[in-house]
Structure 1
Amino acid sequence: MALLSTPETSQEVPLPPEIRAKAAVGPVRAPRILRILDFFLSETLRNAPPEELVRHRVLVGAACFMLMLATLYLVSTLFAPYSPAPGIAGVLYLAILVAARRARTLVIPSVIMLITLTIGFLGGLFSNKANLEGGVHATNLLLPAFAVYLLGPRRALPFTLFLAVVMDGLYPLYVLRNVDLSSVDASFSLSRFWVRHGMAGLAFLGIWGISGLHSTARDAAHHSLERALKKLRASELKLSSIIESTDDIVVALDPEGRLLVANSAMERFYRRLFGKELELGQTLFRYSAPERVVVWRNRLALVRAGQRLRYEETYEVEGSRLVLDISMHPIFGENGRTVGVTLFAHDVTVRKEAETRLGEMHRTLVDVSRQSGMAEVATGVLHNVGNTLNSVNISTTLVTDKLRRSRVTGLAKAMGLVREHLGDLSSFLTRDAQGRQLPPYLIAVSDELVEERDAMLKEMQSLAQSVEHIKSIVSMQQKHARSAGAVEQVDVPQLIDEALRLHAVSFERLAIRIVRDYADVPLIFVDRHKLLQILINLLSNARHALVDSAQEDKCLRIHVERSAGGERLRIDVTDNGVGIAPENVAKLFTQGFTTKKTGHGFGLHISALAADEMKGKLSCTSPGPGQGATFTLELPVKGETA
């Protein structure tokens, strides 16, 4: 582009060092004759665009040729009776060469050339009185054409007008005043003389016009081409700058996989991977293992067929693992056929490592959450078992006290008397004073023993109920533990009641009123353990909110219904506890956020994740501090007829 524009208008876009290094080529050595001509040009004229340089060389070549002719003419005057005056023009031709050696533009040397030629033309015209029509010779028309070629149409116009004025007026008047027309050839015609010189002047202007039209059209086409090339080069430079500025790998291949274009990122990767420099024209997988070459060829075949590929590939580079996200796209020609392939690769190693760490963290949070849920369940189990054990202890104490005070001891003593008087038992019972008291005593003891038996049976029944309650609590916990991770058909209201039973002791002790509002909802397929974990967490949070509240009538309302569309099941857990500030509602499900002094900040976060895993959603609303809160769990209703 720089060679197609003048130094005054050329604007070079700065290239990055990498692009300049790739684009640099060695100087082209010009032919000897051109090097000789360039010697007479200044540095500025020598470095002009190609079309301008051609004009410069033509001017210098013409000056050298005319200088040689003038020199030969001067030498010939030494041996012939010619006037040396025409040879003096050689000084002007030498001045042209000196001016071209120092000038920054072609104007001054061109003006000197045209002045020299005009002087020669006019000198020969006015000095040759024998040939009155020399000015109309066709060779003279080269003067305006040469002027337009060297100076351009505008600068050549005054020179052409001057020649036309001379031909149309000055020279004919000169002839009429200084030439004896009577001595001229009899065929001479004055009218013909005026017409021919007038026509010659018009021909000078016509040649200027035609040359100017040609020059203007050529310059317009040249400038249009130059602007298009400038835009193209600017676009190429911008594209090259973008390709070089990215850290991603950018490659262009031919249909056979040979390398056409590669940016610096690709060169660095190739050098790290193979320890060799990237070579244009070679296949991209030249040094790859045979099995990888087969894979690459298969991919190229698919892309040549018009497909776009995107995949991830792992490389071992300098002892470290590198993961690239690679995309390959076909390049289509005008006929719709694939003429090449573009390949883009982005380093996703950091993202993959982050995803791995995130997965490990998620698994850790799930484990911690399950442990926390197990702790919540265990706490509820222990509360219920502890409360039941109190009843067991009371029943055991009562039975022990009754046995300790039992009248069985008195009965044993009475039976001892009966054994002593077995031989005379009838006389002992009728005649002996102690014997006569024995039957009433036995009757009384018998009545008391019956009462003791009824009381102990009652306590034993109570003890059996307490043990059965403990067994049901343990059995329920074993059922949930056994179904962890399994998707099964669940009766949601029944599962909510089981979760409430695990917190029953706390709710009773804290005088929390439970309001159940269950609509007729279908069974749903969910992970029982995850759903129970969410419910226990929500009930635990509600219990804490009610404990910290100054509300006298502490109430927990649980509402279950099916959505209007029937595709989702909704569970609302509402309390009238301490409430939640508006700025904290959006943060509730963020990991590590908690409003409780002893909270760990991941219970609700894990519950929200569990809801997402079940294709559900966990949300919260609160009118504000002191006005309670509502946690809403939405779950999909699917597989009802399974």
Structure 2
Amino acid sequence: MLFRDNQQQPIATNIRIILMAGILVSCMLVATIGIITWYALQNVNHQVENLVNETATKSNLIYEMRIAARERNLHLAMSLLVDDPFLIDEEWMKFKEQGTLFLIAREKFKSQNPGKTESLLLQKQRELSKHAVKLQYELNDLRLSGNYIKAIEVLHEEISIQVKVFSVLDEILAIHEKNNKLIINKLFSSQEKTQKAIALLIISIFSIIYLTSTFLIKRLSIQAEEIKNEGIKYKALIEGSMDGILVLDKKSIIDCNNNALRLFGVDSLTELNRIGLDYFSQFSEEKSAIKSDGIFNAINHALVNNKKRYEWVFKKANNDTFPSDIELQGIELNENNYVQMIIRDITERERIKKALQDANENLENKVKERTDELTKTNQKMLGLAHSAGMSEVASGVLHNVGNVLNSVNVSSSIIKNRALNSRARNLNKVIDILHKNKGNIDDFLKNDEAGKLVIPFLEQLSEKITREQEDQIQEINSLTNNVDHIKNIISMQQSYAGNIGVIEKIKTGDIANDAIDINLSSINNSGINLSKYYDTDYEISIDKHKLIQILVNLISNAKHAVMNGGKSDKNIILGIKKHNNNIIFFVEDNGIGIDEKDIEHVFEFGFKKRVEGHGYGLHHSAISAKELGGTLTVDSDGMNKGATFTLTIPIEQK
């Protein structure tokens, strides 16, 4: 890198001379050790190779004899067990083949110059094999004459002799192994002198290295400490920076850190220079520095008298663009003038800034629009209900609208509170701090304890603001869905004036999830645990708006029941199951429960136990269930023991 002190050059030259002298002497000694070691290893390798080859050959031949003897006995025994003459002849021929293989392996072993003891054991094996062969042919004659009992007796005798043959072969292997150990011990003892010579040379090399190192350490300890500190500072300031740092002359990029390569989407400094900053800065459309005039670098050189700062939009290698803050600083290295350029990607900062502006501008308008729309919808619904003369139905519709409006109010309050308490306000504090230190922003961010926290704080703030936006969008979507449901309730109310309800095919799970979503905001804010148990997800043909009104009403009543129950664990279960040709929806809670004497009055018009209740929600739901061809029932074990409402709907509407 260019970040190097010129005063270190004479010291570096002395270091190179001393090191080269030490390395030269060390290399000569290492070469001597290498030659001696090579010759010693060659000798050992040659002897070991001969020993391995001889050992492998003899061992293989002994095992070949063992295998041949074993296979020969096996085929001899098989000739007594089979009845087919052809198979008997085949086993006898295999018996002879294995005998031939045994003799071939034995003769090869003899050609390997066995020792005196091995030769005596081979002779012993030969005498045993002669006796065994005699018994083998005697066994064959007995088999041919049909005397199998006598043949089996002879086979037993022959096998006992073969066991002795195997024992002789094992003795040969043991002797062979013993001889190998003796040879290896001789090889190890012959290497002691060579090892001593090599050890002496190694000690000499370490002595030279020690003396050279001691001299260098005494002379260069202070300079080494300075170089170490400079390396640490370089790594912390240059490679540890989240910004791209480049060093420019008037035509090209002299050096850069890894973050600069990442910003422009290239893999190396060579590739960065091959394309050229004129292309990345959009001064030139030519993706080649050869065809570019280096205007961008020249302009930056002309700008720098003191530290300069400006904003720019760069293009990456893949043609994507990104806005950035640029800081220029003139530097002098080896009597040459360069420009240090620090590039900071401000894409995320600009995105957050724009998102905050858009959110602040649009949120208030959207809430006002939804509020006005709800007011008009409510007025329209009241007018339709009164004009149709259906006060009872209108009361039920108003109750259902009230349930949805509760969720709307909760969503509106959440959006308002999040807007008022948005962490985006903290961005102004950071901007004020940066403005106060804009004259020394680089030093402030790198060295000041508060400045070091700015970039991590902005990253965390960006994540939190992004999550705030996602939550606000979710609540706005919920608000929109609730308004749409109110519109659907009004459409259904209009049908009571003479239009027949529209029958649609729907999934039971989808309609149940919609009913949960309408109550979700108020349920979540009340610390209630709502569980789903969908035993089936059937497709039914039904007036979905009537069905969802019933489910919304049942979930809302369950919510109030668990809130008034006084229990720490507030649980509601919405379930779906199929029985015969009916779909059964049930809403179970562990709330305040229903007194036995009140069970039969629950669905009566005007009946209520809750002070803020109206007394017509469950009544209207029961009427709607009947209109759908089904029934709505309730079950409770008494006060403080919860309740279960069950809606039974036929799969096919009549």
TM-score category by the smaller chain? 0.3 to 0.5
Larger Rg: 1
Q: TM-score, length-normalised on structure 1?
A: 0.37
More helix by share: 2
Q: TM-score, length-normalised on structure 2?
A: 0.36
